[in-house]
Amino acid sequence: MKNIEKYRNLIAKGEVDALLLTSKHNRMYAAEYCVAEGVSVICKEESYYFTDFRYIEAAQKNLPGFTVVMTDADHPYTKLINDAIAAHTVKTLGFEDDSLTVEEYTLYNTKLNAVLHPYSAEINAPRQSKEPWEIEYMKKAQEITDRTFEDLLNVIRPGMTEKELCAELIYRLYKFGSEGPSFDPITISGPNTSLPHGVPSERELQYGDFVTMDFGCKFGGYCSDMTRTVALGFVTEEMDKVYHTVLEAQLAGIAATKAGVTGKAMDAAARKVIDDAGFVGCFGHSYGHSLGLLIHEAPNASMRNDKPMPAGAVVSAEPGIYIPDEFGVRIEDVTVITDNMPAFVMEREHVDLFTCAADAICLDGYVVNKVGTLQIAICANHFGIPTFVTGAPDIGHETKDTVRIEMRDPDFTLQAMGVRTAAAGVKGYYPAFDLTPPHLISGIVTDRGVFSPFDLQRYFSSGGMGEYEMVV
């Protein structure tokens, strides 16, 4: 769905007659193109984009579906907005109360011939769940961020200053194809790493330091975000313990991340690991935040968010431990929340393989299972990541012709499948079993070793009966 259609659907709810978009990020979201300065008015039947001489040519060429008009001294924004809302009998105008200044609000409230209705929460809401094409932009931004980090490992050395490291980082973000940093990078070292958002200084990096780099870039207007903590030369036993505690906390948070889980629960999963390791009070910020056109967006994975996280949200996973005047560690990756499986990490190097359990593995190689195994296999195949299944090989499996479709209670479905599967109170029909095509499976783990999905005959001829207990 085009983003402009989401805004028209919002207007169709009847709470406002039109939308006044003044922030750069929401104008870009609606138009799917960035114009540095301007104002947009979205009506039911028509969309308008007003900008000045500096950007009018680009706007006219790149904003299909918008009526583009130039503002000047004789045609200020307020006059152009009034002309547009008069043409569509707009009486109530939803505006971005979270970004409009008092001066701007006073001007519009005085000059416009419509009632201004605070509507930022509703205007921002569609950005919470990303479209596939938006995620592709963010993956590209992440690839540039990954490449920058890998290249920096050849540059970091004792004696260089934190500011010099920051300059090297920013240079590489541009060199490798980004539109620039998505925020001011953090490059800090030694005792400065206990400052979660420390500022690069003239301090020189030293042997035995932890070095924390928190940075990201923009591509297609969309942000990446990543934090890496590395050691120069060696680590102490305490540094090693802290680092691996943070890593374990991050993995626990990622494992808890799926659609329908609250941001509070995601935070709690990571926080418990840190607290149980004896570092209570050393993790003072939230586990994660959403990002997209802005580096910080809603919804957040924090102790204060008790609402279910939606599928399609792109959320950071960034626990940390900070010991004042000694050192700190933060590890951050970006995850994409999916309907029916734990969030996958956007940085491809973090995922080596997928594993999942099946109800039965059929003689012809098909995997008889609940819905999730098929989706994991499709996801793994899409990303080129091997996927292995475990389950009891079975000769007498149901065929495709006998796959049942059974009605599931919505409460059961919401619990097992995620909030996107069924709305509250709605009965849904779901396959009782899926048959996962064998070409999506890299290997089948059995009591007699790993077999190709096309080679299960060898499993049975070797005496395997399909009844075994898998010990991990």
Cα–Cα distance, 101 to 88 (Å, whole number): 26
Cα–Cα distance, 274 to 280 (Å, whole number): 7
Cα–Cα distance, 235 to 18 (Å, whole number): 59
Identify which of 180, 216, 214 has the alpha carbon closest to the alpha carbon of residue 198. 214
- Give the per-residue pLDDT at 35: 96
- Give the per-residue pLDDT at 194: 97
Helix, strand, coil % in the chain, rounded to nearest 5: 35, 25, 40
- Give the per-residue pLDDT at 469: 44
The pLDDT-based confidence of 468 (bands split at 50, 70, 90) is very low
- Give the per-residue pLDDT at 414: 42
Answer yes or no: is pLDDT of 175 > 90. yes
DSSP per-residue codes, 344-394? EESSGGG---EEEEEEEEETTS-EEE-HHHHHHHHHHHHHT--EEEEEEEE
- Give the per-residue pLDDT at 29: 97
Classify 408 as helix, strand or coil: strand
Cα–Cα distance, 66 to 2 (Å, whole number): 13
- Measured in degrees and rounded to the nearest 5, phi and psi for residue 471 equal -105, 120
Answer yes or no: is pLDDT of 470 > 50. no
Residues linked to residue 262 through DSSP beta bridges, in sequence order: 308
Identify which of 169, 229, 165 has the alpha carbon closest to the alpha carbon of residue 202. 165
Instruction: Work out the average pLDDT over 45-66.
Output: 96
Dihedral angle over CA of 194, 198, 204, 205, nearest 10: 50
Residue with tokens 């001007």: 107
Cα–Cα distance, 35 to 31 (Å, whole number): 9
Answer yes or no: is pLDDT of 25 > 70. yes
Cα–Cα distance, 245 to 278 (Å, whole number): 10
- DSSP-derived letter for residue 181 is B
- Give the per-residue pLDDT at 132: 86
- Give the per-residue pLDDT at 362: 81
Answer yes or no: is pLDDT of 402 > 70. no
- Give the per-residue pLDDT at 423: 43
197-206, 432-441, 460-469, range with the lowest pLDDT: 460-469
Residue 64: how many other CB atoms lie within 10 Å: 10
Instruction: Work out the average pLDDT over 422-449.
Output: 67
**342 and 359 Cβ atoms separated by less than 8 Å:** no
- Give the per-residue pLDDT at 383: 67
Bridge-based pairing of strands 47-51 and 66-70 is parallel
Cα–Cα distance, 354 to 317 (Å, whole number): 19
111-115, 121-125, 256-260, 455-459, range with the lowest pLDDT: 455-459
Residues in the chain: 472
- Give the per-residue pLDDT at 416: 42
H/E stretch holding 466 reads none
Answer yes or no: is pLDDT of 79 > 60. yes
pTM passes above 0.85: no
Which tokens belong to 33? 């193109």
Instruction: Please give the span between the terminal C-alpha atoms of the chain, in angstroms, as a whole number.
Output: 44
Answer yes or no: is pLDDT of 353 > 70. no
Residue 305: how many other CB atoms lie within 10 Å: 20
Q: Calculate the average pLDDT of the chain.
A: 87
Which tokens belong to 441? 């499976």
Side-chain half-sphere of 272: how many Cα atoms within 13 Å? 10
Question: How buried is residue 102: exposed, middle or buried, by Cβ count under 10 Å (0-12/13-18/19+)?
Answer: exposed
pLDDT tens-digit profile of 242-299? 999 999 999 899 888 888 899 999 999 999 999 999 999 999 999 999 999 999 999 9
Instruction: Work out the average pLDDT over 352-362.
Output: 75
pLDDT tens-digit profile of 127-173? 999 998 999 999 999 999 999 999 999 999 999 999 999 999 999 99
117-126, 284-293, 380-389, range with the lowest pLDDT: 380-389
Counting residues of the chain whose pLDDT is more than 70, the rounded percentage is 86
Distances (CA, A) of 238 to 211, 256, 278, 316, 345: 15, 27, 12, 26, 28
Cα–Cα distance, 9 to 32 (Å, whole number): 17
The pLDDT-based confidence of 386 (bands split at 50, 70, 90) is confident
Answer yes or no: is pLDDT of 385 > 80. no
Q: What angle do CA 237, 166, 138 make, to 5 degrees?
A: 95
Instruction: Work out the average pLDDT over 365-377.
Output: 75
Bridge-based pairing of strands 115-118 and 92-95 is parallel
The pLDDT-based confidence of 346 (bands split at 50, 70, 90) is low
Instruction: Work out the average pLDDT over 227-243.
Output: 94
Q: Where are the alpha helices (DSSP H) in 12-130?
A: 24-31, 56-62, 77-87, 102-111, 120-124
Residue with tokens 């950005």: 127
Distances (CA, A) of 80 to 47, 50, 108: 12, 8, 12
The pLDDT-based confidence of 399 (bands split at 50, 70, 90) is low
Classify 110 as helix, strand or coil: helix
- Give the per-residue pLDDT at 422: 40
137-146, 177-186, 414-423, range with the lowest pLDDT: 414-423
124-128, 296-300, 318-322, 441-445, range with the lowest pLDDT: 441-445
Residue 384: how many other CB atoms lie within 10 Å: 7
Please indicate whether residue 255 or residue 45 has the higher confidence score (pLDDT).
45
The pLDDT-based confidence of 421 (bands split at 50, 70, 90) is very low
